[in-house]
Amino acid sequence: MKHRIHFTAQDMARTRIAAEPHPLLEVTISARMLQEARGGPAIGAWRREVRGRLDANRAGLLLELNPPRGWAPSFLHPLPSSGDAQEALERARATPRKTVEEQMAFIAERQRHPRWAAHLHDDVRLRRRLFDGLQHVYDQALAPYWPRIRACLEADRALRARDFAAGGMERVLAELHPGHITWKPPVLEVTGTISRRIDLHLDGRGLLLIPSWFGCRLPLLDPNAEPQPFLTYPAHREAAVAGPGGAPAGGSAAALEALLGRTRAAVLLTIADGTGRTTTEIARRVGISPASASEHTSVLRSAGLVTTTRHRNTALHTATPTALALLVS
């Protein structure tokens, strides 16, 4: 179904990309993906691994509340996100009963619901089972992959920052997800997971844009989220992200040079000093040829220190959390 989001000038000024990745939102979207057969090779490999170790009884309630298509309660992924999954889980568990009741009633009016969902707000044990299931799915479906996923999301954010610098928020909206998200000023048209059409007037609140690794097929729009509605979009799937690895010891410039070599250390420092660097920018700043810069970024990427996102004819390199830990240790 195609939804329409109406922007005013004030909405454009207040629209932003989420400052931190949202682990619980990724968990709830991943719960949808576990129940589908689509998503590409990377999602397929992940799905096979996770299904092999997921406890269906522990995950059952969460999966039922997150069907492949349709509404899901937003109290499972409270906003704003600090990027810390455990902090977000504690906030989710602390959701007021009234909020649970209101959100479940809203969804029940729009789609079929499991019978037990009507009692969720006044059944403490049922809520505990649901949130324990949320923790279990996080532990099995997200936590083992989170360093790689986070690096991909941060690389995407760096790419959107460049789009904003080049053409403002209109450029960002136009590039989010061609084919599924279309910018027709002053309206953003979105092909989403909800069967009923949404005609959303932001009324000065703006829109929170959240990159998602698992939301690779259809965007997820929540018009009722607080403090502002949010829309997920797929993080660039071209991002080449190495495994998580461990952060090597040594943090001074001299130690970094001893570990990586003078030129490669300079390349890593250049990449980390900004919101992403192109190969040409790295070559110019370090004083090496583009071919040499490309070789060094390839080695750093293989070591899990750099993420490379390809967009049109440009490769944008960003430092991974492992690299940042290395630089500040």
How far, in Å, CA of 220 to CA of 71, rounded? 9
Does this model's pTM top 0.85? no
**61 Cβ contact list (under 8 Å, min separation 6):** 116, 126, 129, 130, 133
- CATH architecture of structural domain 253-328: Orthogonal Bundle (1.10)
pLDDT tens string 202-260? 999 999 999 998 876 778 899 988 889 999 998 875 543 333 223 333 345 566 777 88
**What's the average model confidence in pLDDT over 159-175?**
91
Q: How many CA atoms lie within 13 A of 196 on its CB side?
A: 11
Residues 6 or more apart in contact with residue 195 via CB below 8 angstroms: 1, 69, 70, 111
Residue boundaries of the structural domains of the chain: 2-19+154-234, 23-147, 253-328
12 in Cβ contact with 172 (< 8 Å): no
What are the residues whose beta carbons fall under 8 Å from the beta carbon of 271, sequence distance 6 or more? Answer: 277, 282, 297, 300, 306, 317, 318, 319, 323
| pLDDT (tens digit per residue) in 104-138 | 999 888 888 888 988 999 999 999 999 999 999 99
